Amino acid sequence: MSVATANVEVPAKVSRLAVFWQSQIGKKSVSAVTGIILSLFVVGHLVGNLQVFEGLEKLNAYAHFLQSATELLWPVRVVLLAAVILHATAGIQLYLASRAARPVPYRVPLAASSSVGSRTMIWSGLLVLAFVVYHILDLTLGAAAVHAGFVPGNAFLNVVTSFRSWGKVIFYAAALVGLGFHLSHGLYSLLQSLGFRSPLWTPRFKQAAVVVGVILAVFYIFIPAGVVVGLIHL
């Protein structure tokens, strides 16, 4: 079965997907599903990286395992890349649609009914996106312009040498605070987008999302802070 548009045969499934994507509900659903995928990665990535506190051998063994498991590594990378692109695109388009629907802002901000996380969602998202690109260049690819002392295969050394730069530490900390704000609202709103609404549980979901966002941001910040105070050293 197909749908004809301007004398061109378009598969019905493609047409339905296009209609779904163009709708606000579709974009919110895509944002929610990809948000779940990315949130799970954030948790897993943190658990793995906290092994830096156990020393050089432990972290480097973990990094070597990830690099050698190519049958797992590349499918995960492809899924994460697709999730990032879809999540960012949906978020930006939803923000622009919201702005277009109300080109004149409220004379009195609705601060009482919105959190800092919700009001800064687009900006924290863009900050996190920039951070992800920088982080990959810094500690995954070791781009010379970002990390001149990068040594392939030595994850522990690369963490220590990277966070000897106060500029990097400040940028990482700011981005991780942005991640905390983004997660604090994103985790709550994705449940709403997927239809989990309840007068009893919604306030609890909101509080739990804030707690999770704060905990993840703080534990991520522990890593550059650990280098700065000398808990992580060569």
CB 17 within 8 A of CB 8: no
If pLDDT is split at 50, 70 and 90, which confidence band does 65 have? very high
**Considering the entire predicted model, what is its pTM?**
0.84
Its CATH architecture, for the domain 28-102+114-229, is Up-down Bundle (1.20)
DSSP string, 110-178: -GGG--HHHHTHHHHHHHHHHHHHHHIIIIIS--TTT-TT--TT-HHHHHHHHTT-HHHHHHHHHHHHH
Instruction: Indicate if the pLDDT at residue 18 is higher than 60.
Output: yes
Which of 200 and 66 is assigned the larger pLDDT?
66
**Segment 5-12 mean pLDDT:** 53
Find how far residue 49's CA is from the centre of its chain: 16
